[in-house]
Amino acid sequence: MKFSTIKVNGLDVFYRESGDNSKPTFLLLHGFPTASHMFRNLMPMLENDFHVIAPDFIGFGQSAAPEHTKFNYTFANLTNYVDGFLDAMGIDKFYLYVFDYGAPIGFNIATKYPERILGIVSQNGNIYQEGLGKKWEGRKDYWQNPTPELRESYKSAFQPATIKGQYTGGEKEGSVSPDGYTLDIHYTESPDYAERQSDLIFDYQSNVANYPKYQKYVKDYQPEIIAAWGKNDPSFVYQGAQAFAKNDKNAEVHLLDGGHFVLETHWQEIGQLILNKWAK
């Protein structure tokens, strides 16, 4: 395993990398509130068969985190930096693993460069209205009427108890290691964290608006997709996984007995699904 940074548009992007770069690349895109460390168990399982690489988005993990007044924290802009990261690393064709926030970023890239995508794993990475849990109803009201009071109220998403609950919710008691959520809680203590993340909560509406574009890509290109979903996730409900199959004859759906961070407890199962499908 290698840990390094590379300059993208003048900012440091941190990444984890393992495997032989002569083999097919697997690009792993994390979500909120985590970073590339969410793949710490999966990467060793894939490294014998793939060149595996996982960057931290700008504003997350170990990557640069400019103040929200000096950087445009939108999903389109985060996509630009992942796109620039791929260019800087010389990565052309690749498999794509998307989770949570990584889904709109990954599908932004897939719709822009469909010929570069070898296959997709969506782990609680939603692109369908039916995959939005009940909490999103309140956020739609916020998007339509973005008062300072509502912006402040959504900062509860960054509280330690909320983050721990995202990991442990829907999982068997005692099955989730504290490593992941403890590090994520630490990252919330960085300067300006709540403000930059609040910008992204507000901008998530752009992803919902793009769902038809993402779905058209799936319908038109019929990529091989593994939808491996924690079926107990209240944020992105399992109907979002099932929706892939109605648009794509090459999609397979696996509903796992876990929550939003199902990779924490089912990484071996998800890794084996990947190896069974794509390892040579």
110-138: burial string, b at 16+ Cβ within 10 Å, e else: bbeeeebbbbbbbbbbbbbeebbbeebee
pLDDT at 105: 98
* Per-residue tokens: 187: 């990252």
Per-residue pLDDT tens listing for the chain (280 residues): 999 999 999 999 999 999 999 999 999 999 999 999 999 999 999 999 999 999 999 999 999 999 999 999 999 999 999 999 999 999 999 999 999 999 999 999 999 999 999 999 999 999 999 999 888 988 988 999 999 999 999 999 999 999 999 999 999 999 999 999 999 999 999 999 999 999 999 999 999 999 999 999 999 999 999 999 999 999 999 999 999 999 999 999 999 999 999 999 999 999 999 999 999 8
pLDDT in tens, 16-65: 999 999 999 999 999 999 999 999 999 999 999 999 999 999 999 999 99
Domain map of the chain by residue range? 2-278
- Cβ neighbours of residue 91 under 8 Å, at least 6 residues apart? 25, 27, 53
Give tens-digit pLDDT for 231-249. Answer: 999 999 999 999 999 999 9
Task: Give the 3-state secondary structure of residue 167.
Answer: helix
Is 186 part of the annotated catalytic residue set? no
Query: What is the third-level CATH fold of 2-278?
Result: Rossmann fold (3.40.50)
Instruction: Please identify which of the residues 30, 51, 260, 266 carries the catalytic annotation.
Output: 260
